[in-house]
Amino acid sequence: MRFLCLHGLGTNSQILESQLDPIRSRLPSSYKFEFLDGDEPTTPFPDIAAAYPGPYLCYYDGPTPAAVQAAADAVLDVVSEDGPFDVVLGFSSGASLAATILAAAAERRPADPPPFKAAVFVCAIVPYRLGSGPLRIDYDPASPSAGHVVRARRCDVPETEDEGYDIWRDPEAAPIAAELDERSRLKRGSFADGLQTWSADFLLAYHPSVHGTHAIAVPTVHVVGQNDVTFGDQGRTLAELCSPRGRKVVTHAGGHHFPRDAATTDKVAAAIEAMVERVVMGLA
């Protein structure tokens, strides 16, 4: 059983491998884990920089149409050249990229086999819908508005219809605002770094209220931090986008990180084994 593992923003494959060790040690030795580094350098979280050496990488600097498509293509190139892989495992933005690839494949090529037979999403950010939008955002670091977003509008809505548009009330756009808000707080990356004024186009996100509860049909495991203030809701939203028949959600007491207690780590490992069993039996 081969796993392709995608790290989070501002980390790298070696960091993810270390973070994943407690779970891997509880899984069968026949499970093989392979790790893919992002191509873009970025800024790490302070606790990551204190604990791990760089380089600190990401798959894309922000969810712009070209950047996310390029990252998805890079992963699919690895699948084509080095695959097949049975399971994709992602943490944070790596989970978002994995889910983006699976959701796009299901939407665009529903009759074809999915690029992965199952997925593990840890502290996930929601997936972005390739080819959607775009959502245009004007950003000013001097603005007192949330995330310093001065103005936002959906380019798929005529200009005359977007008066009073509130990005935080749009389920397909609010995740982008939340990510910019977090990046602004931490001054991470070229978007929302607290220094530049800019306008940019972003993809819209998948949301179950718009795209239903079967956007991803393969068996899934979702690991969510109960106190993940910024992205916990997004992890739960991704779970709702996945088929309930093969979905398992494991919640731990911490924040935006892997579970650190033995009991929850045991539950995650057991959920992954049950998911793999569904794959072996050919169950969705």
Report pLDDT for 176.
87
Site of tokens 């495991």 = 221
Residue 284 to residue 282: CA distance in whole angstroms: 7
pLDDT at 280 > cutoff 90: yes
Ordered domains of the chain (ranges, CATH):
2-129+210-281 (3.40.50.1820), 135-202 (no CATH)
Is 103 within 8 Å of 206 (Cβ atoms)? yes
DSSP state of 145: S
What does the pLDDT look like over 197-239, one tens digit per residue?
Answer: 778 899 999 999 999 888 999 999 999 999 998 888 999 999 9
Q: Under DSSP, is residue 224 helix (H, G, I), strand (E, B) or coil?
A: strand
Q: Running DSSP on this structure, what letter comes out for residue 227?
A: T
**Distance between CA atoms of residues 236 and 252, nearest Å:** 13
Residue 193 has pLDDT above 70, yes or no: no
| Residues forming the active site | 92
Cα-Cα end-to-end distance for the chain: 17
Give the confidence band of 188 by pLDDT, cuts at 50, 70, 90: low
CA R_g for the chain: 18
Q: Which two tokens stand for residue 77?
A: 């190139």
Phi then psi dihedrals of residue 282, to 5 deg: 75, 25
Contact 206, 127 (CB under 8 A): yes
Distances in Å between the Cα of 165 and the Cα atoms of 37, 131, 254 are 37, 21, 34
Number of H-type helices and E-type strands within the chain: 8, 11
**8-33, pLDDT tens digit by residue?**
999 999 999 999 999 999 999 999 99
| Segment 134-162, tens digit of pLDDT | 898 888 877 766 557 778 888 887 764 66
